[in-house]
Amino acid sequence: MKLWLRAGLALLALLPVTGAAVAQQYPSDAWYGVLVPARTPSEIVARLDRGIVAILKTGDAREKLEAQGAEVIGNTPEQFATVMRDDIRKWAKVTSRLKLQMD
């Protein structure tokens, strides 16, 4: 499932200089998603997807989200799964390269 809000360059301008430099070296979008349990029937996933897309297409919802600096991206559940997989791979490489560990 998906509800993808991408933080645009307008938010990047609010970062301190060092934050902007790090953001250039490790570009990333902040996104939010609606997830369902594994093996949820495809009919249910499709119904939820249609409902979420309908809400995101309303002017009121879009305006409120954009006022918070979000860019509303309506993609398919498959596209959203690809975004998540790509981000996991990207950040796994970054944390490995920087030798970061969770406490």
Give the integer Cα–Cα distance in Å for 14 and 95. Answer: 24
How does pLDDT run across 39-96, given as a tens digit for each residue?
999 999 999 999 998 998 888 988 998 888 888 887 888 888 898 899 899 889 888 8
How does pLDDT run across 8-30, given as a tens digit for each residue?
555 555 555 555 565 666 667 77
Which sign does the torsion angle of CA 41, 33, 84, 67 carry? positive
